[in-house]
Amino acid sequence: IALGGDSAGANLATAACLLLKETPEYLPCFFLSIYPTLNINNFNTDSYRKYGDIMILKASSMEAFANRYITCEQDTSNPLVSPLLAESFNGFPATVVITAEHDILFCDSEAFVERLRQDSVPVEWKVFPETIHLFWGMNFMSREENGIAFAADRLRSAFCRA
């Protein structure tokens, strides 16, 4: 089994992997994280400041989404809501992180990759140049340009190893 998601879906999939790593027999062999939302506590990163008011996904929208997602202030510090706050990623599956170069979530991806590497999780990080949030689904781009071919190749390799 492989698990993955993009944006808020990557948040949910990351939370699922955090839970599943406690029961290794159910852990996916591969995790795909596409421009993930991983810390709803921090809308003051370099990428939020740089792209928060000019790109397709705005900082104000992210704050509104977060306010709808959480039920109380304590939820913001829960690693299942903000996975970057997890104590450890030890035992996490091999991971591929796909990031848009011009995305307010760029710093979430960068921090996630750094945490995975610190915990010795096999991780590959691919930044797609000159792209914005949601480029994954832009069908006017080729499969190579929008990352689908890259992700499919990594998924195929993971299944061949499993």
Average pLDDT, the chain: 89
Render pLDDT for 65-75 as a digit per residue (tens, 0 to 9).
888 888 777 67
Which tokens is 79 given?
């690693």
Render pLDDT for 81-123 as a digit per residue (tens, 0 to 9).
999 999 999 999 999 999 999 999 999 999 999 999 999 999 9
Which pLDDT value is given to residue 129?
A: 92
pTM for this entry: 0.92
If you search the block for the tokens 């929008």, which residue do you land on?
Answer: 146
Contact of 119 with 88, CB cutoff 8 Å: yes
Residue 33 CB partners (closer than 8 Å, separation 6+)? 4, 5, 10, 13, 14, 95, 96, 97, 98, 109, 112
76 has pLDDT over 90: no
Which pLDDT value is given to residue 162?
A: 66
List C-alpha distances in Å: 117 to 10, 17, 104, 128. Answer: 18, 16, 22, 20
For the chain, what is the largest distance between any 2 Cα atoms, rounded to a whole number of angstroms?
44
| 99 or 64, higher pLDDT | 99
